[in-house]
């Protein structure tokens, strides 16, 4: 009998490889696991072969139809599920477990270029003002957290992961640990650097290096950061607009581009691996330019 590879065992090996050699984050691995589970349950509920060398292109196509019709997933979700399956099969081929890759003829649905939602300059100022004036016990922490994302465009998780030692108060820069353990340096204004310093002083003596901590002294969780922001949004009446803390990152990128910063620099500041991810912000300049052109006196 031909050599049979157990698909679950292979998948476990794939996850180990992604974690050890590709530095995949906990979040990415969790997504891979979830995506794989859906694929397996689809295969077994349709009595399809799950030996890795028995899976065919037609099975994958049926699976895509299932994701669309039965699961009603959005294009973006289907894209991710197909791409994570692709990574798995590419791994199997690279390890010589498979000769033919059933995913080879499969193209994931195209990514829809959606314009990300972002705050206007006025709204950002209003949010920061409200956070600053709050009478919450943690008002300073919350204000600094929100302003940090507004003035650096870092991701929510990156903000939560920050330590005070990542800030260079002399040079007014912050070292960010991004996706896949990639580091980047983002500049901050002298004004914000001073606000950060005041916040730092308020935390002395430091029992915990984490920049943002809870009342019990532990690093705050990313979901807590979300709640803090939603509370502020409620106060300013912007909580029903589908805007989130991540929208501040979009606002940052949009404002940079509207003010003439070139796209490659914005890509570097945001820590985007692919410049195509950054080009989505270029649309805003077109809108902005239309407004400017409309001001022509003739």
Q: What single DSSP character describes residue 296?
A: -
Per-residue model confidence as pLDDT tens digits over 84-131: 999 999 999 999 999 889 999 898 888 776 777 899 999 999 999 999
CA-to-CA separations, 106 to 31, 39, 92, in angstroms, rounded:
20, 15, 16
Q: pLDDT grade, residue 274 (50/70/90)?
A: confident
pLDDT per residue as tens digits for the range 25-73: 888 999 999 999 999 999 999 999 888 988 999 999 999 999 999 999 9
Among candidates 28, 15, 12, which has minimal Cα distance to 181? Answer: 28
Q: What are phi and psi of 209, to 5 degrees?
A: -65, -25
Question: Residues 6 or more apart from 52 whose CB is under 8 A from it?
Answer: 5, 7, 10, 92, 97, 98
Beta strands in the chain (DSSP E): 167-168, 173-177, 183-187
Contact 175, 127 (CB under 8 A): no
Q: Which of 157, 187, 183 is nearest to 174 (CA)?
A: 187
Q: Are 138 and 129 in contact, with CB atoms under 8 Å apart? A: no
The reported pLDDT for the residue numbered 1 is 34
Q: How far apart are CA 264 and CA 245, in angstroms?
A: 24
HSE, side-chain direction, 13 A CA sphere, residue 257: 25
pLDDT tens, residue by residue, 163-215: 999 999 999 999 999 887 889 999 999 999 999 999 999 999 999 999 999 99
Please give the positions annotated as active site: 155, 179, 246, 249, 272, 281
pLDDT > 80? residue 4: no
Q: Which residues contact 179 (CB under 8 A, 6 or more apart)?
A: 25, 271, 273
For residue 2, the model assigns a pLDDT of 39
φ/ψ bin of 107: left (φ > 0), alpha (ψ from -120 to 50), beta (otherwise): beta
Answer with the residue of higher pLDDT: 297 or 14: 14
The pLDDT value given to residue 29: 94
3-state class (DSSP) for residue 203: coil
How far is Cα 284 from Cα 290, in angstroms, rounded to an integer?
10
Cβ neighbours, 10 Å, residue 137: 9
- Percent of the chain exceeding pLDDT 90 equals 72
Task: Give the chain's mean pLDDT.
Answer: 91
How many C-beta atoms surround the C-beta of residue 119 within 10 A?
A: 22
Residue located via tokens 């007014």: 172
Answer yes or no: are the C-beta atoms of 257 and 265 closer than 8 Å.
Answer: no
Q: Which residues contact 296 (CB under 8 A, 6 or more apart)?
A: none
């Amino acid at each position: 009998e031909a050599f049979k590879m157990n698909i679950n065992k292979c998948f476990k090996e794939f996850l180990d490889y992604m974690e050890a050699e590709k530095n995949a984050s906990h979040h990415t691995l969790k997504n891979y696991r979830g995506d794989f589970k859906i694929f397996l349950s689809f295969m077994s509920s349709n009595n399809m072969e799950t030996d890795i060398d028995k899976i065919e292109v037609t099975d994958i196509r049926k699976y895509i139809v299932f994701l669309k019709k039965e699961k009603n997933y959005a294009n973006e979700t289907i894209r991710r599920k197909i791409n994570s399956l692709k990574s798995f099969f590419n791994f199997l081929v690279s390890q010589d477990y498979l000769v033919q890759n059933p995913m080879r003829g499969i193209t994931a649905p195209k990514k829809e270029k959606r314009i990300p939602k972002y705050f206007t300059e006025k709204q950002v100022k209003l949010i920061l003002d409200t956070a600053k004036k709050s009478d919450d016990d943690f008002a300073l922490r919350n204000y600094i957290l929100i302003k940090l994302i507004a003035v650096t465009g870092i991701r929510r998780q990156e903000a939560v992961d920050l330590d005070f030692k990542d800030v260079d108060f002399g040079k007014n820069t912050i070292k960010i640990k991004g996706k896949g353990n990639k580091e980047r340096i983002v500049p901050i204004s002298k004004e914000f650097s001073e606000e950060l310093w005041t916040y730092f002083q308020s935390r002395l003596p430091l029992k915990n290096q984490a920049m943002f901590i809870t009342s019990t002294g532990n690093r705050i969780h990313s979901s807590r950061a979300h709640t803090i922001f939603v509370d502020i949004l409620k106060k300013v009446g912007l909580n029903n607009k589908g805007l989130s803390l991540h929208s501040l990152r979009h606002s940052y990128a949009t404002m940079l581009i509207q003010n003439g910063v070139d796209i490659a620099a914005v890509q570097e500041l945001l820590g985007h691996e692919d410049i195509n991810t950054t080009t989505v912000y270029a649309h805003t300049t077109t809108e902005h330019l239309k407004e400017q052109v409309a001001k022509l006196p003739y």
